[in-house]
Amino acid sequence: MKKKRFYKLYFSAIVIFLILLIAGSIILTTWLKSYEKAQPATIVNTVITDYLDTGKYTKLQKDLDLEISEYETEESLVAALKAATDGKKLTASHSSLKPEGIDLSYIIKADDTKILNVYLKKHKIGKGYDIAYVELAKGVLKTINIVVPKGTDVTINGVALSDDLREDNEFPSLPSTIDVKTLKPTQTAKVTGLLSESPVIKATENGKDVEVVNEGTTYTVAQSIDKTVGDKVQQVAQAAAEAYAAYMQKDGSFGAFAQYCDSSTPFYKNVASSLVQFVKNHNGYKNENMSVTSLTKYSDSLYSCRVSFKHVLQLSGSTYSDNFDKIVFVTKNKDTYKVIDMQNPVSTTES
């Protein structure tokens, strides 16, 4: 009887132990799963598994507060993220750079290209993190410049260009015969955060469509300019640019360059007094890929255009290319055209 009672208690203890063991395992497993889910890396990886891998780009935008430019649409976001991720290995890594108020920051890459920044904040109550928001990395964003005469209306992908983005371009040092107050300035708008490789830029002046010329990442709004005058401006600008390039390599005289310039301007005086000439020993030269674009009118007496070409030096057994790319300003006094300045085009490089 005692033996039977002993076995009964013995097996009961085993059953209770097994029940406690199973319950403990379940509790531990549940805790481990909860702990794992609360880990920052796991949370960030859900952006990859739940949105990027599944192609749910618009849901990502809405769920995780992803902001896009006012000049873009959900369609362009989908196209950009699809192009950035298709066939690529997606990984997440910790970043030391984080905005104010953010506790942790991560970067999601497609192969070696950064595509998203993910920002986490701690739970207000208890441990763990939440995704505060995500943002597009610079690797998928585009920046363009739009050069436009003041007062001309411009749209980007159908949305009006904000006046806040427009900044008046400075005039060069002008001869005393030209009154700056009489000039119509051009403006440059630097537009960042675009997704489209080729945004649709349109312009109108007084209700009429105006041509927009695309030169890489710079879009220039054309003007209505008398063809005879425009042709002469471009002819003088090109000739002066070629003479300048030749002079700087000792392939031409200063006089050959000076004939196209207004000798009263700081530009002329700086070139005349400059001791800097970028000279390489060579046997000859030629200019290739000549381009004269972006003809602009500021008044009946001041114009500019962009001149670019490769000044190719013929070395012993090889060649060397010196790239020329300048905005050339030309004045018109009756039938006389003179260059007064050459300036570098607007840079689109982001800091």
With helix as H, strand as E and coil as C, how does the chain read?
A: CHHHHHHHHHHHHHHHHHHHHHHHHHHHHHHHHHHHHHCHHHHHHHHHHHHHCCCCHHHHHHHCCCCCCCCCCHHHHHHHHHHHHCCCCEEEEEECCCCCCCCEEEEEEECCEEEEEEEEEECCCCCCEEEEEEEECHHHCEEEEEEEECCCEEEECCEECCHHHEEECCCCCCCCCCCHHHCCCEEEEEEEEECCCCCCEEEEECCEEECEEEECCEEEECCCCCHHHHHHHHHHHHHHHHHHHHHHCCCCCHHHHHCCECCCCHHHHHHHHCCCCCCCCCCEEEEEEEEEEEEEEEECCEEEEEEEEEEEEEECCEEEEEEEEEEEEEEEECCEEEEEEEECCCCCCCC
37-140 is classed in which CATH architecture? Roll (3.10)
Q: Does the pTM of the predicted model rise above 0.85?
A: no
pLDDT in 10s for each residue of the chain, 351 residues: 555 665 566 556 666 656 666 665 565 555 445 444 557 888 889 989 999 999 999 999 999 999 999 999 899 999 999 999 999 999 999 888 888 889 889 999 999 999 999 999 887 766 778 889 999 998 889 999 999 998 899 999 999 999 999 999 888 877 777 788 888 888 999 999 999 878 999 999 888 898 898 888 889 998 888 999 999 999 999 999 999 999 988 888 999 999 999 999 999 999 998 766 666 778 788 899 999 998 988 888 999 999 999 988 888 778 888 889 999 999 999 999 999 999 988 654 443
From-to residues of CATH 3.10.450.540 in the chain: 227-343
CATH number of the 142-221 domain: 2.60.40
Q: Tell whether domain 227-343 is in CATH 3.10.450.540.
A: yes
From-to residues of CATH 2.60.40 in the chain: 142-221
